[in-house]
Structure 1
């Protein structure tokens, strides 16, 4: 049975319909922030609330709603869950074989200060992984590294989520920007230029804000020179690359410049006082002394880091558009997800139609919405990480028996986080398929002259729901363009605001929260992490809203 989306199901009223659409989101906030439910409980119950709203208020056929849930759940396993499993597995291999002790020592040789370690690992290295892979890899790997260095798990996860704000818009070789070109018709290069005139202002602020959250304002001033080197080098490179090279390389180039600039700077400058968290100061001090007495050769250090160097190489290769096309069958410049190499028999790309859902929902333009289970085994970033783990097996000389045992242990440890991810992605798909997310977008589009201020909120909301800046741009990009044109706002600014606003929603997205908790062994503590990040998400969103509003009038000269 074909069903047509109705964006105002409650008496034809956009306001009352928006309140209905907002119910699952408000419930999720309540479940985590107030009731502090375990992540998988909050995720599953939020999904049930979303299904109830979709079926009983929006009139979505029950079978269609359930099949939409399965589509999201499958996507939660592959590629998202697959990245988490393989990332944590690779990290466990380095710990089991003692290589992480050498990695810890090498980082401590650069700096023993936790503030500076956070800048190197969470901000710079995390941004590099975001640019190369995206999805959950940056937070999963960098958070695990910080925990291995001695960070409190909750702090490690929260800091990495916050640091991930700077690179998200240009993540995964610029996919969030390039994806917006299709539905809007605006060249990706032009969107890249405009985003590159917003995000660097946030990127230069993030390192300082991150350290202030860790230690407070006074102790942040002690490392201000390092903060400035990290933030300014990143922001300047991000601006230049996004405006003159395009959306593909800003993250990778900015991260590398920032990482090397700070590492070189720390060879010549050290803070007067070394900071460690009070709760782990004694342990950290004894650990540092133990490692200080142990000297490793350059060859040993290189061997210890080689799993992550190999990981970086594989992820970079997997991110190259031509390679990705060959592995997945998706060709650049095509809008249809169904045009794949699978049509000529690609062995590891499967796109089976979702029964009871594919082309059975008509959108606002009366066009059928295709629905497939996206099973790209070879092209998934998680597969690149698994291959890294296979190569690592021979480098660290672990037996196949222990290798398989470690992999099995990892899967068992992550069963509840993966269940959480499946539930929240299923919730996102139901929200989109039923039209609830479009209803909320239409309400914000009614703000008229204040739309430039609220425009980033659409992106923030989209990323909170979907967990992806790419998905948020596809979801609301055209709505942003149409609304901006109708009120006299430059459409390019609205599109950039959607992407820039979206990055601030990443740290509170249910998917991101579940991924971060899984990486640092905090399964079931998602509520604590959510409470940690939500206030920072809203604060940074407010900055983007104010900036966009100013750029729509006073600072209009910044629009290319």
Structure 2
């Protein structure tokens, strides 16, 4: 059995943390500054991670390789299967011509592309995140933004930044469920705390979106809609998580956000943009939308996305989960026996949930959508093949990144970083969200980051005298802000808008927003640990 050591460099936690940072720093530097392609950056960072695990942390080379394969295989169902099927479903709507109808319907709500971006990326994206998660909203919202005329790079950035506040309650609050399991704290208590953190950031996200899209002019002309969307979402998420339902917090928030904007537009209109405002045909299209779209055409255009919502809702029922569970197989990953520094065995169970996996449910939605949209079986298969070609560089990126994440986790590198940050005393309340941010930046999943660091946050709380529920919730809330810089998310965003290979450029566009919102969240959590804002909890 391999036993982790968290301070392998001469017993120094600080020196060990510097070594543990190398894989992450190398990836961020290559993506953000050296402009190396993402799959190459991920492969080199994976090699660096393996070297650190083998030479510094003493993990046997055969175990390093085995853990890397474990991570890569794990990513197939949890990431790639979802991404491919989500983009395939979108491509089906494009091929059938119904996506153009959907685009027109958003223009009917408002002919201002900035308002459309808020509704698509923030409100509609939050609804998809609430039910599916795992990169699905980035893929769908990004593609939809391109369809209404946005530049692909701008569409990817907006979709990534928008997919922040909903993530902690994504997939019907699975990250909160996981956090409760690993910490032993109450699910409701954790949900209440997260529901008093992420809504504050949510209120500002739509303002960031219009700034990204149109700078100062966009902020000046559309701030009422941005404020209504953000505040309505945040307030509804807060109320639902605190008094109604933690599981439905994102659903309620998304619907409240869209409804708030639509009501506002009955009484207020943004300043009319010049026809060439964005050097695309968005506003021109809006002037002569095919009003002749029938009710049936509009329903068909929305059908695939309504179908996603319906399917992911139905599978939450216990009886359906029991049926789908027939296709679930669990087994210990062969050849792995790992324990913590304290001697506690680390689980290496692999779950093959072939029927209930989010990707499988998206595949089902795609098959039914193809029939509803009258796309022939041959055309659907051809579209699937083209989708795989479209994803050809995103696949190795995700495989390498997940292999890296698993090697960091199982060798002890990630725990080293967490424990080093936890040694800051009462100031740890400020750094607590940073740990969640690191976890999601590496794994691409708030659920995984909670599983990884949830117990550490509680242990640090006991050592520092801080609230365990506050710090555990901060892990989830801070983690959502690392989603936009995660290599998996970058790969999804680039693939969805058709700019594969430009993930580094997307990273440079979103890293500033990620750090800005992280600073906001860290400050909020710190103040919540003091009498200044403790009343919020």
TM-score (norm 1): 0.92
Please give the secondary structure, in 2, of the residue aligned with 1:378.
Answer: coil
Q: 1:429 and 1:151 mapped to 2: Cα distance?
A: 36
1:7 maps to 6
Q: Aligned-pair distance for 1:221?
A: 2.2
- Which is worse superposed, 305-314 or 264-273? 264-273
What are the Cα deviations for residues 386-438 of structure 1, in whole angstroms up to 9, with x where unaligned?
Answer: 11111122222121111111111111221211111111111111110100000
1:335 maps to none
Contact 1:327 1:379 (8 Å CA) reproduced: no
1:250 maps to 249
1:284 equivalent to 2:261? Answer no
1:534 equivalent to 2:511? Answer yes
1:503 equivalent to 2:501? Answer no
Contact 1:7 1:436 (8 Å CA) reproduced: yes
Q: 1:236 and 1:437 mapped to 2: Cα distance?
A: 35
Q: 1:540 and 1:323 mapped to 2: Cα distance?
A: 40
Contact 1:67 1:354 (8 Å CA) reproduced: no
1:349 equivalent to 2:348? Answer no
Please give the secondary structure, in 2, of the residue aligned with 1:505.
Answer: helix
Contact 1:124 1:256 (8 Å CA) reproduced: yes
Contact 1:317 1:323 (8 Å CA) reproduced: no
Contact 1:113 1:275 (8 Å CA) reproduced: no
Please give the secondary structure, in 2, of the residue aligned with 1:373.
Answer: strand
1:415 equivalent to 2:395? Answer no
Contact 1:7 1:14 (8 Å CA) reproduced: yes
Q: 2:369 aligns with which of 386, 392, 406?
A: 392
1:303 equivalent to 2:300? Answer yes
Q: 2:185 and 2:50 mapped to 1: Cα distance?
A: 35
Contact 2:527 2:534 (8 Å CA) reproduced: no
Q: Aligned-pair distance for 1:229?
A: 1.8
Q: 1:45 and 1:109 mapped to 2: Cα distance?
A: 48
Q: 2:519 and 2:12 mapped to 1: Cα distance?
A: 28
Q: 1:476 and 1:442 mapped to 2: Cα distance?
A: 10
- Which is worse superposed, 478-487 or 187-196? 478-487
TM-score (norm 2): 0.96
Structure 1's consecutive aligned runs of 4 or more residues displaced over 6 angstroms after TM superposition are: none
2:322 maps to 326
Q: 1:182 and 1:367 mapped to 2: Cα distance?
A: 17
1:315 equivalent to 2:294? Answer no
Q: Aligned-pair distance for 1:217?
A: 2.8
What are the Cα deviations for residues 232-271 of structure 1, in whole angstroms up to 9, with x where unaligned?
Answer: 1111101100111342110011101111221233244321
Contact 1:67 1:356 (8 Å CA) reproduced: yes
Q: Aligned-pair distance for 1:286?
A: 4.3
1:219 maps to 218
What are the Cα deviations for residues 21-64 of structure 1, in whole angstroms up to 9, with x where unaligned?
Answer: 00001100111011111111111111111111101111101111
Equivalenced residue count is 537
Contact 1:310 1:388 (8 Å CA) reproduced: yes
Q: What is the RMSD of the two structures over their aligned residues, measured on CA atoms?
A: 1.7
1:234 maps to 233
1:47 maps to 46
What are the Cα deviations for residues 278-326 of structure 1, in whole angstroms up to 9, with x where unaligned?
Answer: 5533x3344444x5255212222112221221122112223x1626742
Q: 1:353 and 1:488 mapped to 2: Cα distance?
A: 37
1:443 maps to 420
Contact 1:39 1:523 (8 Å CA) reproduced: no
Q: 2:198 and 2:259 mapped to 1: Cα distance?
A: 21
1:381 equivalent to 2:378? Answer no
1:114 equivalent to 2:110? Answer no
Alpha carbons of structure 1 residues 502 and 122: separation in structure 2 relative to 1, 3 Å? same
Structure 1 unaligned runs (5+)? 330-345
Please give the secondary structure, in 2, of the residue aligned with 1:351.
Answer: strand
Q: Aligned-pair distance for 1:537?
A: 0.6
Please give the secondary structure, in 2, of the residue aligned with 1:222.
Answer: helix
